[in-house]
């Protein structure tokens, strides 16, 4: 790509000339480049990316503020948008996958630690409740766990899904046990801890993910 001065003596050329050159601007600077044939915008690989992108975008819109908070913390000081961070971290592993078992509910920030394990169970009794049990990790000196949080998303193919379902739950304590209301089906659950740091700031640990069948 080359910078131009008075391109075609027009001082503002833009667009394509035959199949030879393309004129445009970049950050206000007139530029010219060789014409190239665009790649197939509807290739199988691009369809996969668009499918998962649409799924994750719809899922993000369903998440309540408390479930989006870990992503807000993650982007602090970074040139990112919370939704874009959520999509970019989840998309690579889901793209072309048969399910959404790799779902990341929290990316972690500020040195916070993940649960050492996560176990899921049907609460039983026909209540359609998921019991999430996270093993509390070794907490950094001076840190305090203030909440145990989890998000459940219905297990499905993120490349083709058109209906997105999710539920959020938290316990308000450091015990690591969260109950989530959910319908019958197979659910993918991501769970994490919320921390208060010695300086008074908040941090969220990376999530762990598992899946469970609810009758």
List, in order of start, the domains of the chain with CATH numbers. Answer: 2-34 (no CATH), 44-214 (2.60.40.10)
> Is residue 200 over pLDDT 80?
yes
Q: Which of 73-77, 121-125, 160-164 has the highest mean pLDDT?
A: 73-77
> Is residue 191 over pLDDT 50?
yes
**How many Å separate Cα 98 from the centre of its chain?**
18
CB count in 10 Å sphere of residue 92: 12
> Is residue 213 over pLDDT 90?
yes
Distance CA 203, CA 65 (A): 15
What are the counts of helices (DSSP H) followed by strands (DSSP E) for the chain? 3, 12
> Is residue 19 over pLDDT 60?
no
Report, as an integer, the average pLDDT of 179-195: 96
Helices (H), the chain: 44-62, 65-75, 82-94
**How many Å separate Cα 172 from the centre of its chain?**
23
Least confident of 4-18, 72-86, 170-184: 4-18
> Is residue 157 over pLDDT 90?
yes
Distance CA 78, CA 96 (A): 28
Place of tokens 């083709």: 160
Query: Per the confidence metrics, is the pTM higher than 0.85?
Result: no
**Residue 21: predicted pLDDT:** 67
């Amino acid at each position: 790509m080359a910078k131009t001065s008075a391109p075609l003596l027009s001082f503002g050329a833009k667009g394509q000339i035959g199949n030879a050159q393309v004129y445009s601007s970049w950050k206000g600077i007139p530029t010219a480049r060789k014409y190239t044939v665009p790649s197939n915008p509807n290739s199988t690989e691009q369809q996969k990316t668009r499918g998962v992108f649409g799924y994750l975008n719809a899922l993000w819109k369903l998440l309540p503020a408390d479930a989006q908070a870990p992503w807000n913390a993650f982007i602090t000081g970074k040139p990112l948008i919370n939704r874009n961070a959520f999509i970019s971290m989840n998309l690579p592993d889901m793209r072309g996958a048969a399910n959404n078992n790799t779902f990341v509910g929290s990316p972690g920030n500020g040195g916070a630690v993940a649960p050492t394990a996560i176990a899921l169970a049907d609460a039983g009794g026909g209540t359609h409740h998921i019991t999430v049990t996270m093993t509390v990790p070794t907490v950094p000196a001076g840190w305090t766990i203030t909440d145990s949080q989890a998000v459940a998303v219905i297990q499905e193919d993120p490349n083709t899904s058109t209906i997105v379902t999710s539920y959020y739950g938290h316990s308000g304590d450091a015990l690591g046990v969260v109950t989530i209301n959910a319908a019958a089906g197979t659910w993918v659950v991501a769970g994490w801890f919320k921390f208060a740091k010695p300086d008074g700031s908040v941090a969220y640990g990376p999530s762990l993910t598992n899946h469970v069948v609810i009758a």
